[in-house]
Amino acid sequence: MNPRHNSDRRRLLTALRGLGLLALGGWTGVIRAASPVPLLTFKPVTLEAALREAGVDAVQPSEQLRLNAPDVAEDGSAVQISVSTSLPARRLLVLVEKNRIPLVASFEFPPGTRPFLATRIKMAGDSRVLAVVEADGRWFSAAREVRVTVGGCGG
Amino acid sequence: MVDVRVQIRHPMESGSRKDEAGELIPAWYITRFSLTAGDRLLFAAQLGPGVARDPLLHIRVDGLAAGDEVLAAWEDSRGETQSDRARVEAL
């Protein structure tokens, strides 16, 4: 999984620009997963309420879930994180405990797609970042404490 | 395995930021995203305003070959929709 040793791997790099691309492919609609995840709301609530509203009742920490995030992020407007797991995870939630809106996003991995995700998130200030995955009907979590030098208006 | 990296140009305004005049900038962010190859759903996401500006999504997919076409589609909180296609390249 080390990106330095993946030269044998096929790789697709898409650089999508948000303007004027509609004519390229034609809009076909955002396709939702086969097992529909309820439409989430991104509201200013507590972490616990955000988890509950996303359908997470009980969650337990798992060492089989890895959340990579910096110990210190200089710019809270774009903090690079990645999540990977050996669990058969089909759904991933990313949350920032102390953001005004803790829930950052929900991701779905259909069969054939590895439970891996890298993205950039906003952090308003120092906080715990959580990755929560659903695997075999149970929820597992991993957390990292991230210090933020300049906050990024975390939504 | 294929690494798929998608970058979408979008302001991802949270609705809690103020402009230079001190006025709140309205929320405007991508809400839903999907990646497909033909009939196969590769990935779906619901995003909130906590995803950074110009969202980057990096995922890993099995069962794709060089030349396969993938379609990325997204919708934002104003109801605007966009999509784009790309082909898998062998490196």
Using CA atoms of A54, A29, A31, A53 in order, give the dihedral in degrees to the nearest 10. 10
**How many beta-carbon contacts under 8 Å exist across A and B?**
202
Instruction: Give the pLDDT score at B67.
Output: 87
Q: Do A96 and B50 touch (CB under 8 A)?
A: yes
Chain A residue numbers with beta carbons less than 8 Å from the beta carbon of B67 are none
- Please name the member of B45, B87, B90 whose beta carbon is closest to the beta carbon of A105: B45
A46 has pLDDT over 60: yes
Provide the pLDDT confidence category of residue B74 given band limits of 50, 70 and 90: very high
A10 has pLDDT over 90: no
Q: Do B73 and A105 touch (CB under 8 A)?
A: no
Number of domains in chain A: 1
The answer to whether position A116 is within a domain reads yes
The answer to whether position A104 is within a domain reads yes
Q: Do B14 and A107 touch (CB under 8 A)?
A: no
Interface pTM (ipTM) of the complex? 0.95
- CATH number of the CATH domain containing A118: 2.60.40.2470
What domain range includes position A76?
A: 38-150
The answer to whether position A88 is within a domain reads yes
- Please name the member of A100, A105, A153 whose beta carbon is closest to the beta carbon of B51: A105
Average pLDDT over residues A79-105: 97
Domains, chain B, with CATH or none: 2-87 (2.60.40.10)
Q: What is the sign of the dihedral through the CA atoms of A111, A117, A119 and A122? A: positive
Name the residue with tokens 């993946």.
A6
A75 has pLDDT over 90: yes
Q: What is the pLDDT of residues B21-71, one digit of tens each?
A: 999 999 999 999 999 999 899 999 999 999 999 999 999 999 998 889 999
Instruction: Give the pLDDT score at A24.
Output: 39
